[in-house]
Structure 1
């Protein structure tokens, strides 16, 4: 991307108009980005890490370069070659970043996984990807019990002492003079493979190239996160999620910002996390809706959040009342962004845009995003359709190359000149997009189409509701009836009377036809490893 490209924080229209993708023959995030920062700002902070026990470590860009050089030589010394696939499962420890950058340098394709995966999940990933190596942390060794016979895996690496066949990895700083020279990677070489969160069926393998993520996330870091070299950015994400690549790897370091990481192993503690934001003087912050909903329930005036200048949310739509509560306490609007494991950020409420509560924003620079019908034609403003990215005549850099070994998935996501995301939206006359829901989540009831988020958002406005999930249940008379699964806030007790109260509340809050005809109170909701509600699992339990 040309250095002269205007930032979206200055002028969104100019950024859209003047943006052009650079398409170099060779690209490598470690050598072209990390090493450049190390040369220009060697002592600038790159990674600020802390954990629940109070331990803290700080690494500069020069140290990041040296430790990733050591990691690359270490992996190559174990016999791993360019194009080999390495499954990496670690908590938020510094070694994750060193090994990932080492893989990138050496052209080894890394495949992140979350420590929440079970042995069954891991075996599926190893076998489906034909992984050659496993990289893990001593705290995660038990996850691999019963899977060390996975066919094709020849290299097992752990950060701590472990019995054979594990090889111990200890991070060291390797000066440039001692570094193994690795041939430059081509822009189209494979960089990483993510497994989709699997809201329906088994996870699919999403492959990105050195350019599509390493170069493409310049969009995320510069335009949506609005990062500058003196920023201290924190994204709340597990290392196994694609959001980690967005906000804890490519996004912040593409702009030379400091990546602030808080390593916690248990449940998310909003009180403790607010103190981290205060202590680390975080300037830009991204969290998923589930975390935002917990954060706004706290006493936000009890912590000093004055260092914050920009806050964003992604993963699922964020309820307007959460945005309002945060803004009242901090003066900051939570700006939403939209993308997938398959993309970088493709729609965002960019800093220079006038915020519109409930909208996910406008298309990113470098992307043509449309709302299309079944024939691949853009629908009129105000009409619902499929969110799609134009891929012809030129494919955007920040888009994946396709699903590996899945012709059916590739075919279903292609429609004429478009890549179809599988999500539905409405575009208004000013070009803002409004999320409706996943294509298979939209409810058709009594001739109306209802997005589950609309009902969930209305329910969340009631003080008794902590979280909800809404689905359509087959109904012979009206096609589908709306059913809500509700988690209550402390101090409220499930009862038929409360169910009736919630139904009446939704009728008053939104269009009456959107009210849930059924309400079931539950203790938890089924979610993917990335925290998204598995509505398909809820639908599977229903009968006419």
Structure 2
């Protein structure tokens, strides 16, 4: 179970303003920070978001302002974007150079592709510089960006193109054939742009480099109303097809000030490496808006697949000051011999996306001397199923107060699905889908996702506490806990476990008994896993989060839905 941030700050300040990021020290559990949180009480009372006029455009109002400071010598001499591929190729662009290239691409969109404000652009690119240019060009033109992971199938692409009505797609030569499979079924799609640095050509596609060579670098930013749509992310739930989650111009562009300044702890002197996949919203939060609001350098490693040795070598070789990755990645990294590496520049480490185990935090601290600061992605209060606030100590839904004033940083809607949008609200609150309770000191304890909670013989069991106990055993590299059907108790706790290399050859029946005993000793005995299955790997999303829903559906004899 996780204790989160001091709700007195959250309820008085962030609930009225920013619903996405809160800060919690992994050891004291208080909202604090080594550099920016020198005086927490003063900051929490004095913090205010910048005043937002009727119009806001991140490219003009933030990026171009940093370019001006750069010219005037008012910014540290860091690049704005620093890209490496592990094969001695690098790209370093200043804010001025980002502006130059993105204005050319903006002209490609408007002059050559005939895109207009609020038209939708579907983007599937790996971690290459052009991904960032498309992001900025969409901001400059007021077109709506729809990012997608490069692991999408043709079926996934079809759903996204048809549901969104995207008029333009930007991808590379590896994914272009999948788009061509489904393009005839997408009548709105009229512009296909391929990013290829080879001389190869593909019928029906326009090469990005060629297009940019034919346009000017002069472009006037569109005046975008603050509430205009800026980006749409497809989010997968436990039921139904992925839904379109829409964000406005200011929800990311201003709202992520808290992310960049306080959680990521960034300044213009910092270099941030966030390992998120480009199809995940976390890349936008940290590797675009949160970082560049602060004028920081965004570091990118091409790294097609997460590789522990590459990560550790990169942290040692480059002047990265801030590191952000998923808890699963940290669990993998601490399995390596980290004593072989030196982390002279690293000052601040964060994680997000799923709960992280205290043992992982402790081992990381021993190896690097640094805490891991965990971000929980929603501001909260606790209510029952009807939206009525509950008393302290009572478990309920974690929600965001939206009445009388809805926080401007909260997502706008599930685009095109008013019924699904309405289902998120109860009385005065938006329900996050998480469960928790508030203790007598005003701290929030995270229990788990509402659909992950296990009800066994009348006991409610959150999977994270069991996983937390299991990971403390030296035989366990990773674990995932879900409910499993039982004729007596209705459902029981089942653990799927990936063993460490040293224990792979051990007697499995003895290991089951040892692990069950261990959990009984670490936490309440009724929470121990009555069923244990050893597996080579756990199903995960592209962002590294364990897909408990897939394991749970397998246990209950339901075919897992496709991502």
Summarize the Cα distance change of 1:284–1:173 in structure 2 as closer, same or farther, 3 Å threshold. Answer: farther
Q: Write the distance in 2 (CA, Å) between the matches of 1:470 and 1:272.
A: 30
Contact 1:326 1:332 in 2 (8 A): yes
Q: Could you tell which deviates more after superposition, 196-205 or 291-300?
A: 196-205
Contact 2:104 2:216 in 1 (8 A): no
Among 31, 35, 45, the alignment partner of 2:79 is 45
For the pair 1:205 / 2:218, whether they are aligned, the reply is: no
Structure 2: state its 5+ residue gaps.
1-16, 18-32, 72-76, 558-563
For the pair 1:471 / 2:482, whether they are aligned, the reply is: yes
Contact 1:44 1:61 in 2 (8 A): no
Q: Write the distance in 1 (CA, Å) between the matches of 2:56 and 2:456.
A: 50
| 1:172 to partner: Cα distance | 9.4
Aligned counterparts, 1:308-347, within 5 A: 308-339=346-377, 346=378
The residue aligned with 2:182 is 147
Encode CA deviations 1:47-100: one digit per residue, 9 max, x unaligned. Answer: 011012221111111101111111111111211111111110000000110111
For the pair 1:195 / 2:224, whether they are aligned, the reply is: no
Contact 2:82 2:300 in 1 (8 A): yes
Among 310, 313, 325, the alignment partner of 1:272 is 310
For the pair 1:372 / 2:383, whether they are aligned, the reply is: yes
Summarize the Cα distance change of 1:312–1:171 in structure 2 as closer, same or farther, 3 Å threshold. Answer: farther
For the pair 1:25 / 2:54, whether they are aligned, the reply is: yes
The residue aligned with 2:262 is 223
Q: Write the distance in 1 (CA, Å) between the matches of 2:44 and 2:216.
A: 42
Encode CA deviations 1:231-280: one digit per residue, 9 max, x unaligned. Answer: 001111111101101111111001000001011113x1111111111211
The residue aligned with 1:506 is 519
Aligned counterparts, 1:102-251, within 5 A: 102-151=137-186, 152-160=188-196, 161-170=200-209, 178-251=217-290
The residue aligned with 2:13 is none
Computed over aligned residues only, the root mean square deviation of the Cα atoms, in angstroms, reads 2.2
| 1:178 to partner: Cα distance | 4.5
Among 421, 425, 431, the alignment partner of 2:436 is 425
For the pair 1:409 / 2:437, whether they are aligned, the reply is: no
Contact 2:334 2:360 in 1 (8 A): yes
TM-score w.r.t. length of structure 2: 0.87
| 1:177 to partner: Cα distance | 8.4
Q: Write the distance in 2 (CA, Å) between the matches of 1:448 and 1:497.
A: 27
Encode CA deviations 1:417-453: one digit per residue, 9 max, x unaligned. Answer: 1111001122333333322111011011122111111
The residue aligned with 1:34 is 63
Give SS of 1:467's match: strand
Q: Write the distance in 2 (CA, Å) between the matches of 1:172 and 1:333.
A: 46
Among 297, 300, 322, the alignment partner of 1:284 is 322
Encode CA deviations 1:316-358: one digit per residue, 9 max, x unaligned. Answer: 000010001111222211011011xxxxxx4xxxxxxxxxxxx
For the pair 1:529 / 2:529, whether they are aligned, the reply is: no
Q: Write the distance in 2 (CA, Å) between the matches of 1:400 and 1:543.
A: 33
| 1:199 to partner: Cα distance | 4.2
Give SS of 1:102's match: helix
Give SS of 2:182's match: coil
Q: Could you tell which deviates more after superposition, 313-322 or 408-417?
A: 408-417
The residue aligned with 1:88 is 123
Summarize the Cα distance change of 1:171–1:224 in structure 2 as closer, same or farther, 3 Å threshold. Answer: farther
Structure 1: state its 5+ residue gaps.
340-345, 347-362, 364-368
The residue aligned with 2:394 is 383
Q: Write the distance in 2 (CA, Å) between the matches of 1:390 and 1:473.
A: 34
TM-score w.r.t. length of structure 1: 0.90
Summarize the Cα distance change of 1:109–1:8 in structure 2 as closer, same or farther, 3 Å threshold. Answer: same
Summarize the Cα distance change of 1:213–1:185 in structure 2 as closer, same or farther, 3 Å threshold. Answer: same
Aligned length: 512
Q: Write the distance in 1 (CA, Å) between the matches of 2:313 and 2:139.
A: 34
The residue aligned with 1:57 is 91
Contact 2:384 2:390 in 1 (8 A): yes
Q: Write the distance in 1 (CA, Å) between the matches of 2:518 and 2:180.
A: 50
| 1:538 to partner: Cα distance | 1.9
Q: Write the distance in 1 (CA, Å) between the matches of 2:212 and 2:78.
A: 16
Contact 1:199 1:528 in 2 (8 A): no
Q: Could you tell which deviates more after superposition, 195-204 or 98-107?
A: 195-204
Q: Write the distance in 2 (CA, Å) between the matches of 1:255 and 1:148.
A: 40
Q: Write the distance in 2 (CA, Å) between the matches of 1:166 and 1:397.
A: 38
Summarize the Cα distance change of 1:245–1:333 in structure 2 as closer, same or farther, 3 Å threshold. Answer: same
Give SS of 2:202's match: coil
Q: Could you tell which deviates more after superposition, 399-408 or 24-33?
A: 399-408
The residue aligned with 1:343 is none
Among 1, 4, 11, the alignment partner of 2:39 is 11
Contact 1:381 1:429 in 2 (8 A): yes
The residue aligned with 2:406 is 395
Contact 2:397 2:436 in 1 (8 A): yes
Q: Write the distance in 1 (CA, Å) between the matches of 2:258 and 2:287.
A: 14
| 1:531 to partner: Cα distance | 2.5
Contact 2:121 2:145 in 1 (8 A): yes
| 1:145 to partner: Cα distance | 4.4
